[in-house]
Amino acid sequence: MLITDSLLLDYKRCSRRAFLNIHGDSRQKDPERDFLNKLRQDNKRHIALVLENYYPHYQQVPFSNTSPKEKAQTTETLMQQGVNCIYQGLLWVDDNTSTSVEWRENFLRIMPFGYDYLGKPHLLIKQPGQSKFGDWSYYPVSIHLGRKAKPEYKLVATFYAQLLAIIQETSPPTPELITRPLKQSSVDTVQWLSKLELILEECLTTLTTEEEPELFISRQRCNLCRWYSHCYAIAKSQRHLSLVPGVTPSRYGCLQEIGITTTESLAQANSDTIQEVLGKELGEKLQQQAHSLVYNQAIARSQSPYNLSDILAERTFELYFDIEAEPERNLDYLLGVVLVNHLTQTQTFYPFLAETPEEEEQIWQQFLKFVNTYDQAPIFHFSEYEKDTIKRLGNLYGTPHSQIEHLLSRLIDLHHCVITSVILPVENYSLKSLANWLGFNWRDAGISGDQCVCWYDQWLTTGDRSFLDSIVRYNEDDCLATFHLKNWLWKFFTTIEF
């Protein structure tokens, strides 16, 4: 079996994903999302920026139709020649790797015999120090699109260091990580070598058995995985506890220990038993959430910080606000607003759209002029992002502080209203999940905000206005979904009896 850096990365994130990549039926994988391809393109640009700023005189291992093992041999030849910076090299270690008995005993204990190991560090950098090549050795540099040196980055970097230790017969060199924006950091191999040994052992045990690792649906972790639909269908059929909002992996383990394994069993379990394990407040919250899911009913929280029947009471004019952004450019390119006029019973959508990044200030001023026209109207939105964006754009473009403060005072965050006031039979508290349960449907089914990010990039690249039209339509539906949610909340809290 070939153990690669990408396999270890998958295993660190989700053991089930790594198992399915080896043993699963590829026909059950979801089609690759456009956003994944965008991330690859962004990563290529980030790597090019790193090379330009730090390693302009690199030597690239030639692309060819040769096998990975042959390309690894080419990499080692460049190392023997003492090339200062090697780009896109391959590191290969197997039972036949040419190294002394001493080094095999010292370092192959972490990497068991009988397997092939392949690593693809972005860069190999020459440094002073003895190795089998002479009075120099190499250390690996990994370049990542993230802004933090995540544990999985450190694990893979340590894997590279271990491969290099075996290949060049040195102690494991100190790997380097480069994250955005051009932030360099070192990895403590003393700490991470022991973790690598443990994870490799667990990974090999998992991958050499026929039993699939237990699934756990996590919205953030599973979002871009191509096995998501396959795993979700299983979780749905099992009424899996991970589909209950608030059930984390650690809480799931606690519930399993007391024999609670499904949504139904959580809803029906003895409350004292659950609260003894999880605490009174959390235990009651999770059990109510399970009850809501099982019986498909909304449950008002007993201690809400809001009087929603007053906060959400109908006004003559109401504004519903949603933003589309491009994080890579730090750009908010669409400020969408639906104006609801209860006198005329009309809903009108106003998209303030920057067709180029340079137009952001222009749409900000247009947005301000519009919302100030209805300066007594509440502005409903969903999430903290709209509030943070108003602060950012106000500071960036010199909007008077008093004007920003007045605007912020009009904001009503429906997400916060929901999560502090009511429990709903949903698997997560995103706008899409809530609005779908309430019967609202987006015109473009299956589309999410990250697709809009891709569409905007495609618009800038191709000039095809159909991409802009799709973004505007999606944003309008987000605003209308927020309106739909607000109406439901107001009706619920004006009719409920506590």
- Residue range 433-453, pLDDT digits in tens: 999 999 999 999 888 899 999
| pLDDT band for position 411 (cuts 50, 70, 90) | very high
Tokens coding 255: 């519930």
Contact indicator for 19, 207 with CB cutoff of 8 Å: yes
| pLDDT band for position 107 (cuts 50, 70, 90) | low
Neighbours of 360 (CB within 10 A): 20
Tokens coding 310: 């007053």
Domain extent listing, the chain? 2-28+44-207, 239-297, 308-495
Do 239-297 and 308-495 fold alike per CATH?
no
Query: Quick one: average pLDDT of 468-487?
Result: 98
Specify the amino acid at residue 317: F
Distance of alpha carbon 336 from alpha carbon 346, whole angstroms: 16
Distance of alpha carbon 30 from alpha carbon 19, whole angstroms: 16
Count CA atoms closer than 13 A to 427's CA, side-chain side. Answer: 16
pLDDT tens digits, 198-208: 999 999 999 99
Contact indicator for 206, 7 with CB cutoff of 8 Å: no
Whether the pLDDT of residue 498 is over 50: the answer is no
Query: Quick one: average pLDDT of 406-422?
Result: 96
- Among 174, 224, 187, which Cα is nearest to 36's? 224
Distance of alpha carbon 124 from alpha carbon 91, whole angstroms: 10
Residue 240: exposure state from Cβ atoms within 10 A (0-12, 13-18, ≥19): buried
Distance of alpha carbon 434 from alpha carbon 452, whole angstroms: 20
**DSSP per-residue codes, 297-327:** --EE-SS-S--HHHHT---SEEEEEEEEEEG
Query: Quick one: average pLDDT of 293-318?
Result: 89
**Residues written for the chain:** 498
Report pLDDT for 309.
82
Distance of alpha carbon 378 from alpha carbon 306, whole angstroms: 16
Whether the pLDDT of residue 467 is over 70: the answer is yes
Report pLDDT for 267.
96
| pLDDT band for position 66 (cuts 50, 70, 90) | confident
Specify the amino acid at residue 496: I
**DSSP per-residue codes, 347-374:** EEEEEEE-SSGGGHHHHHHHHHHHHHHT
Report pLDDT for 144.
95
Q: What percent of the chain has pLDDT over 90?
A: 86
Report pLDDT for 306.
73
- Which stretch of DSSP H or E encloses residue 163? helix 151-168
Pick the CATH number of 239-297 from 3.30.70.250, 2.60.40.10, 3.20.20.70, 1.10.150.20: 1.10.150.20
pTM, 2 dp:
0.89
Cα Rg of the chain, angstroms:
27
Q: What percent of the chain has pLDDT over 70?
A: 97
Contact indicator for 227, 30 with CB cutoff of 8 Å: yes
Whether the pLDDT of residue 108 is over 70: the answer is no
Query: Quick one: average pLDDT of 78-94?
Result: 95
Bond prior to 181 in cis (omega within 30° of 0): yes
Specify the amino acid at residue 275: Q
Instruction: Please state which CATH number belongs to domain 2-28+44-207.
Output: 3.90.320
Instruction: Please state which CATH number belongs to domain 308-495.
Output: 3.30.420.10
Distance of alpha carbon 119 from alpha carbon 155, whole angstroms: 12
Whether the pLDDT of residue 48 is over 90: the answer is yes
Contact indicator for 483, 320 with CB cutoff of 8 Å: yes
Distance of alpha carbon 5 from alpha carbon 411, whole angstroms: 46
112, 197, 410 from 16: Cα distances, Å: 22, 19, 46
Packing angle of the helix pair 449-462, 465-495 (nearest 10 deg):
160
**Contact residues for 264 (Cβ-Cβ < 8 A; gap 6+):** 239, 290, 294
pLDDT tens digits, 239-287: 999 999 999 999 999 999 999 999 999 999 999 999 999 999 999 999 9
pLDDT tens digits, 328-378: 889 999 999 999 999 999 999 999 999 999 999 999 999 999 999 999 999
**Contact residues for 445 (Cβ-Cβ < 8 A; gap 6+):** none
Distance of alpha carbon 44 from alpha carbon 273, whole angstroms: 52
301-327 burial, b at 16+ Cβ within 10 Å, e below that, comes to: eeeeebebeebbeeeeebbbbbbbbbe
Residue 278: exposure state from Cβ atoms within 10 A (0-12, 13-18, ≥19): buried
**Contact residues for 256 (Cβ-Cβ < 8 A; gap 6+):** none
379, 387, 395, 405, 406 from 400: Cα distances, Å: 19, 16, 9, 9, 10
Distance of alpha carbon 473 from alpha carbon 475, whole angstroms: 5
Tokens coding 111: 């990497």
Distance of alpha carbon 433 from alpha carbon 236, whole angstroms: 15
Per the DSSP assignment, residues forming a β-bridge with 351 are: 336
